[in-house]
Structure 1
Amino acid sequence: MHKLPSIDFTNKKNLKPSSTSWLATALEATRALEEYGCFIAEFDKVTPELNDAVFHGLEDLFDIPIETKVLNKSTKPFENVLAYNKLVAELEEMVTRMVFETYGVEKYLDAHRKMVTYLCRGMKYRPPVENETNMGFVPHTDKDFITVLHQNGVNGLEVKARDGEWFSVELVPSSYIVMSGDAAMAWSNERLYSPFHRVTMNGKESRYSIAQFSFLEGIIETPKEFVDEEHPLLYKPFDHLKYLDFYNKEENRRLECAIRTYCGVNV
């Protein structure tokens, strides 16, 4: 039976770079991304008040009729969402730094950070009605580098382990999912795992989630440190945003592993 590791990002001792606690946390996070492609992060930078404001805003957004949304003429500022995005970006930056340092490729970190851009997406999954499938979101991998996912109190996320077994992820309001995407898998020469995941709805409440995706505006290339006789190069350098364009074509959405088809060495 699989269970995601839970890693503490609230203890300041764990977050002091180069300290023994930092190195241990970095190793734990990297190993979790290798084994499961994700882990649960305990992270308290987002206050309960800000968290509630963001999710109440998300509920209000989905209550607006589509014909009103398409007008896109709201002048109401998004202070809560922007504040949330900045805090969650801190978590993503920490995890990315930990991964780079664990692998001994931190000399590439500054160049990586200069290319990072974020996409924040809110999602609603309603409970199934009678005779309707309980599949809220079909199995897929994320196409970004690192995803930070947060949800309201309704669970439903399921992750596919490397052995093919699906398992449920139980979250509490103060926890987040940190997940490696296709770009991280290719960058690391498949040291990191980009897991299939889905949403299954079984209860009577709607599930709201907010995901922050990190993309790179430029070329992603596997560092030479990941390549040797036992680990031959698996991916050619690729433009991350062009990979998104490739995947967004209807015929490519059904590929088992779009990133391998797009830039795999032996394809």
Structure 2
Amino acid sequence: MTEKLVSSWFNVESLPEDYIFPEETRPGKFAVVSHRKTVPVIDLKKVSYQDRSDLVQQIIKASEEFGFFQVINHGVSMDLVDDTMNVMKEFFNLPAEEKASVYSVDPKQCCRLYTSSVNFDREKVHFWRDHLRHPCTPLEECMKSWPQKPTRYREVVREYSVELKKLGLRIMELICEGIGLDPRYCENELSKLVLLSVNHYPPCPDPSLALGLPKHADPNLITVLHQGDVYGLQVFKDGEWISVEPLPNALVINIGYQLKIISNGRLNSAEHRAVTNSIEARTSIALFISPSFDCIVEPAMGLVNESNPPLFRAFVFKEFLSHYTSNYGEAEAILKHFKLQA
């Protein structure tokens, strides 16, 4: 089955037909967009010597307007970040037979490697990516299913997942404070699950026709992303695609649907996509922080009143995930299912 992996056969002269997206969704000339606009960059170090409220307001403004921002001076060791990226690149460069032990499209297998999506055999067009994903909670138990090669994988990724979750929780504290909630509102069940999602995009023979990932928003609470040093991440804002510049020592934060719902629509769970390039491979590492499957999610009671009624009904997170999966990429349909009728 590993022969399906794009990384096993990507060095072809022309793009196979089943990787060519319909004209209305393919990136076309927008595969490389103008870099004049980009998402906000926020210096987290400022909290130690500048008015905390200023930092909080910067984060809230970015979360409302873009749903995306980058953070620098975030406190995570860049040696660790770089080491994790190197381990991931080593993994995807392993011979196919050495990756076969984790290759699976079975959703019941917690650690799995596959290409495009788990619906590969049913989808009309494939994504130009290979994807490794596995849970990181409960950590010690989950590690037993992680890749055994490279030999440093489990040691490095363990530390990485711990440190990035700390950063994600710290940013959520600042967000909760900024929208008028207890800073610890999103702790415990609302942020219990941690999932590592690694996308590998080999060089593509025609980036104007293919997509690494189509337009979508994340189903979780918040995402902490290391996008490496290669362009490819784009955010949809005001009818156009904005390229997220790969900055040295920066991590990308984006707001997921659950935080949009908890904030009663105030924060933006922005749609984004990944485009490819013909020159070099791109690897990105995302840490998704999500509620537990049985956690009830709803607009925070402290944010709704008679003049600001709740926009969304309460639901169990696993219900949201099921609906999200069956309507992937359809933001309006996903949210409409959980909206209260006016």
Where on the TM-score scale, by shorter chain, does this alignment land: which range?
A: 0.7 to 0.9
Match of 1:135 in 2: 211
Hey, what does 1:170 align to over in structure 2? 245
Instruction: Judge conservation of contact 2:179–2:263 (CA < 8 Å) in 1.
Output: no
Q: Where do 5+ consecutive residues of structure 1 fail to align?
A: 15-19
State the Cα distance separating 1:133 from its structure 2 match.
1.8
Could you tell me which runs of 5 or more consecutive residues in structure 2 were left unpaired when the two chains were aligned: 1-35, 103-144
Q: CA deviation at 1:70?
A: 4.1
Residue 17 (structure 1) aligns with:
none
Alpha-carbon distance, 1:24 to partner: 1.3
1:206 lines up with 2:320 in the alignment: no
Contact 1:34 1:191 in 2 (8 A): yes
In structure 2, the partner of 1:114 is 188
Question: Does the 8 Å CA contact 1:179/1:194 hold for their aligned counterparts?
Answer: yes
For 2:43, the equivalent position in structure 1 comes to: 8
**Pairwise mapping of residues 15-164 of structure 1 onto structure 2 (< 5 A)?**
21-72=51-102, 74-75=147-148, 76=151, 78-106=154-182, 109-110=184-185, 112-115=186-189, 116=191, 117-130=193-206, 133-161=209-237, 163-164=238-239
Equivalent-residue separation in structure 2 for 1:238 and 1:232 (angstroms): 17
Match of 1:194 in 2: 269
For 2:337, what is the secondary structure of its paired residue?
Answer: helix
Residue 91 of structure 1 aligns to a residue in which SS?
Answer: helix
On the 8 A contact 1:124/1:206 being kept in 2, the answer is yes
CA distance in 2 between counterparts of 1:265 and 1:243 reads 15
TM score, norm. by length of structure 2: 0.69
2:322 equivalent in structure 1: 245
Matched, 1:221 2:298: yes
**What per-residue deviation string (whole Å, max 9, x for no partner) do you get for residues 164-220 of structure 1?**
221111121311111101111111111000111011223501111000111001111
1:25 is aligned with what amino acid? L
TM-score (norm 1): 0.87
Shift of 1:223: 1.6
Aligned sequence identity (%):
28
Q: Give 1:266 shift.
A: 2.2
Alpha-carbon RMSD: 2.4
Q: Which moved more, 1:119-128 or 1:74-83?
A: 74-83
**Relative to 1, partners in 2 of residues 1:65 and 1:71: Cα closer, same or farther, differing over 3 Å?**
same
Kindly indicate whether the alpha-carbon contact (under 8 Å) linking 2:207 and 2:278 is maintained by their aligned counterparts in 1: no
Task: Give the SS at the match of 2:254.
Answer: strand
| Runs of at least 4 residues off by over 6 Å | none
SS at match of 2:51: helix
Q: Which string of whole-angstrom CA distances, capped at 9 and with x for unpartnered residues, describes residues 67-86 of structure 1?
A: 54342475446111111112
Query: Which range is displaced more, 225-234 or 55-64?
Result: 225-234
